[in-house]
Structure 1
Amino acid sequence: MALPITSLPLPKATTKHLAAQNITFLSDVVQTLPWLDSYSQKDVVSQLEELNLPQSHEKLLLDVLTTNINDPSFLSSKDVKESVLKSSLITFSSHLDALLCGGIFPGEIIEFVGEPGSGTTQLCSQLAVDCTIPKIFGGRNCKTLIVDCNGDTCEARLNQMADATLSHLKLIASSSEERDVVSRLTVKEMLSSISTMRCTDYSQLLALINNISEECNYGAVIVDALATHFRHEFDDMRQRTNILAELSNKLHRLCIRHNVTLVIVNQVRMDGEGNVQPCLGESWSHTAHRRVFLRKVAGDVYSATVMKGEKSGETANFRISSRGIRDCPS
């Protein structure tokens, strides 16, 4: 579970300092999450020492965590866990959602890596549509911005997925309130919550992130595919590294300041030994809290493997149908 640091009872100065250190989730501080029985004060102390925080911030964080480790009403409570799960962004594949520990969370940066045809853009489109699901159905009901670096976003495909999603909501509506909400919801209204902006070079991308960092009314921002403008536009690799570091910091500030879900698509390259690796180098690999590798298996079946984050090394299969992301037939 990726529990945001902002959910802890900490002063804003402390959470801001943690954010500046790219510490966004509790799992960035401790490897064992607080609703697991194996969480101990010794674990907290040893890992806090490795963060090199100012003593005042370290003491505050330590006090909050250790004071409440064994308190069932604190972060280990079922209510808090369910609250975080309810705010997650699902994919419409139960197997993929399980691999993602319940979905993708506010304040999180997740990176999907894959070659062309691996399903990254299809997954992005599904996530954008899923953001429009009303809260009464467990959805986020938020606006989404798709930053299209490749020109691959297809309005017709978004329309197709939105229509399938609306049909599903009508099918599962059971209470009179749910039926009333879904009877008034239209595909046009759903798509009006999704904005697409084309970025043709890295300077446009940086300017856009700057703008939305100042005033953001989006619940999710999807960048597909960020590596496009950094693979061939630079002769000076030191300049590229510096710009990527600047971009990484801006993305983290965006997530922290506005509690945005940030989805990044990265491309792949071949290393010197012929192995497929994510683009943009080692430094960039620290930007996302979680990194997931996508590939096509056969036909309409695809696989997702966690490269970084909880469940690292685990894989789940999913299907891309005319209706969108779905489970594979059992």
Structure 2
Amino acid sequence: MPPLKSLQHQFPSIDSNLLHFCASHGIFSVEDFLVHDLYMLVALAERQTSSKGLKEGIAQVLTFLNNQHFPWMNGVELLESTQHNKHFLLTGFDGIDTLLCGGLCEGNLTELAGPSSSGKTQFCLHAAAHVAYTYMCSVLYLDTSNSFSSKRISYRVNRLLASPNKGEKGRSLEGIMSSILSHSVFDIFSMFETLHQLELSLSSQLFQAEIQNSKLRLLIVDSISSLITPILGGKGPQGHSLMLNVGFILKKLAIDYNLAVLVTNHTVVGEGGNSKPALGESWKSVPHTRLLLSRDQMSNICNMSILKHTSMACGQTASFRLDG
């Protein structure tokens, strides 16, 4: 992200007065701007004699952020990108892995939407355990609503270790559990800071000691809607801009570091009374893949259908059983 000063020639309201005001609050770049509490920043700006100009400048920084996108790619580049990212991580649910032609695609952002108690968190925990066990890699689980359960993870890992491949390559419960790192993130600004630190770690080829320097291949955010819903609905553009930019950063991490990124979202009632993913039309364009989860409340049978996919037709479905 560029320094704020570099935007002066493009946005006249981003002037020396705004730069001085932002600097007094430790904001020197667009990235600093993102991780700052914008509501607090606007409230501080309103106390200044030049509040109108400051708020116009803040709005223009948000406009710049809204207009950010990945560079245009020609057909050859798109084909190469598709071929490069055709690596999948098996989730451990055979029906779902078949439905997705191999599982979660590295280099892609996948959204799993479903109503409360539909099994989204159980799916994520199961996938985290299976990926860490199968690929001997690291998994980062960003928990936004106290949903992470080490007990469920260990249950799943122990079942995998009890399979015919038990003991292969020296795998153990302790080793696999240590490669699954959970981090609690309860507001959008903490999320920006966490993703910023993650990118610094990945770009320097270093990672926290808790995951034993093994390669990170799966990033889970459960749930993205818990962070975004509270900031939407206001009169200003801040919530909408923050939503799009957290999506942009997640996609950038997926593409730049070839991660499989999985986020969960809740559902709302759409036309005709059918369920649809929350967060509106703007968010709809963010994920590469969108999946809708439902569950038979009388059993542990879940159904998953494809709402959006880069290479598959929508509407295809598969069933699987949750067992813990």
Instruction: Give the TM-score normalised by the residue count of structure 2.
Output: 0.68
Task: Report the counterpart of residue 321 of structure 1 in structure 2.
Answer: 323
Equivalent position of 2:173 in the other structure: 187
- Give the match for residue 47 of structure 1: none
| Amino acid of the structure 2 residue aligned with 1:311 | A
Provide the alpha-carbon RMSD of the alignment.
Answer: 2.7
Structure 1 residues 197 and 75, CA, compared in 2 at 3 Å: closer, same or farther? Answer: closer
Moved more, 156-165 or 274-283: 274-283
Give the 3 Å change call, closer, same or farther, for CA 240–64 of structure 1 in structure 2.
closer
The aligned amino acid for 2:291 is V
Contact 2:232 2:240 in 1 (8 A): no
Runs of 4+ aligned structure 1 residues displaced above 2 Å come to 20-23, 61-65, 232-235, 270-275
Note the alpha carbon deviations across 1:90-112, whole angstroms, 9 max, x for none. Answer: 12222111111111121111010
Query: Does 2:124 match 1:124?
Result: yes
Aligned to 2:219: 221
Partners of 2:157 and 2:266 in 1: CA distance? 26
Q: Judge conservation of contact 2:119–2:295 (CA < 8 Å) in 1.
A: yes
In structure 1, the partner of 2:292 is 293
Match of 1:254 in 2: 253
State the partner residue of 2:88. 88
Residue identity matched to 2:289: R
**Amino acid across the alignment from 2:195:** I
Which secondary structure state, in structure 1, belongs to the residue aligned with residue 132 of structure 2?
Answer: coil
Counterpart for residue 203 of structure 1: 189
CA shift for structure 1 position 321: 0.9
TM-aligned CA distance change 1:239 to 1:125, over 3 Å: same
State whether structure 2 residue 307 is matched by structure 1 residue 307. yes
2:114 corresponding residue in structure 1: 114
In the TM superposition, residue 249 of structure 1 has moved relative to its aligned partner by 1.4
3-state SS, counterpart of residue 91 of structure 1: coil
Which whole-Å CA distance do the structure 1 matches of 2:233 and 2:284 have between them?
A: 21
Identify the residue that residue 138 of structure 2 maps to in structure 1: 143
Q: Could you say what secondary structure the match of 1:231 adopts?
A: helix
Identity of aligned residues (%): 22
Task: Please name the residue that 1:326 is paired with.
Answer: none
SS at match of 1:259: coil
Q: Which has the larger radius of gyration?
A: 2
Q: Which digits, 9 at most, give the CA deviation of each residue in 1:177-210, with x for residues without a partner?
A: xx651xx221111100001011111111111112
C-alpha change, 1:293 and 1:63, in structure 2 (3 Å) is: closer
- Could you say what secondary structure the match of 1:215 adopts? helix
* Alignment CA distance shift 1:95-1:242 (3 Å): same
Call closer, same or farther: CA 1:215–1:273 in 2, change over 3 Å: same
In the TM superposition, residue 271 of structure 1 has moved relative to its aligned partner by 3.6
Deviation track 1:117-162 (CA, whole Å, cap 9, x = no partner) reads 11110110011112222xxxxx322111100011011110011011
Which residue identity is paired with 1:125? L
TM-score (norm 1): 0.67
**Which residue pairs with 2:27 in the alignment?**
none
Measure, in 2, the Cα distance between the counterparts of 1:118 and 1:262. 20
Mapping for residues 8-87 of structure 1, pairs under 5 Å: 22=70, 53=72, 58=74, 61-62=75-76, 84=86, 87=87
Amino acid corresponding to residue 175 of structure 2 in structure 1 = E
Q: Alpha-carbon deviations, 1:306-330, whole Å to 9, x = none?
A: 01011310110100013xxxxxxxx
User: Which is further off, 285-294 or 251-260?
Assistant: 251-260
Q: 1:164 to 1:232 in 2, by over 3 A?
A: same
